Amino acid sequence: MHMQRVYAKETHIMFDFRKFKPLNDRVLVKRVETEEITESGLIIPDTAKEKAQTGTVMAVGTGRRETNGVVTPLAVRVGDVVYFGKYAGAEAGKDHLIIREDEILGVVENS
């Protein structure tokens, strides 16, 4: 299994996303890249495509804290495939995002 490593420039700390735990209502999502092929069989390179707006949930926070202090659990779970907005979240490495649950537009269900 391939492990992505991200290095912080100043501190040289290595991040292992398998050990990452988001805080509160944040979710770690790994983008799901699909290979695009035109009808004539040409493969569109990554540099010519926009980034995917679907991804697999890798880790979830504890939940959203309400004003009265109650923690509401998140609706998404690890392993869910989700759809999110084009400008959602913060980039975390090459193919990971950290996004808030309210930036997730929906969960893709298997049929």
Q: Which domains does the chain have, with CATH numbers?
A: 20-108 (2.30.33.40)
- Of 92, 54, 51, which Cα lies nearest the Cα of 76? 54
79 vs 20, higher pLDDT? 79
Percentage, residues of the chain above pLDDT 70? 68
111 vs 103, higher pLDDT? 103
At 19, list the tokens. 């050990």
35 vs 29, higher pLDDT? 29
Residue-level pLDDT at 93:
78
Strand ranges (E), the chain: 5-7, 14-16, 26-31, 54-60, 64-65, 71-72, 81-84, 90-91, 96-100, 104-108
Least confident range of 13-17, 41-45, 68-72, 91-95: 13-17
pLDDT digits 0-9 by tens, 10-24: 444 556 677 788 889
Residue-level pLDDT at 92:
82
β pairing state of 96-100 and 90-91:
antiparallel
Q: Can you tell me whether residue 7 is helix, strand or coil?
A: strand
83 vs 51, higher pLDDT? 83
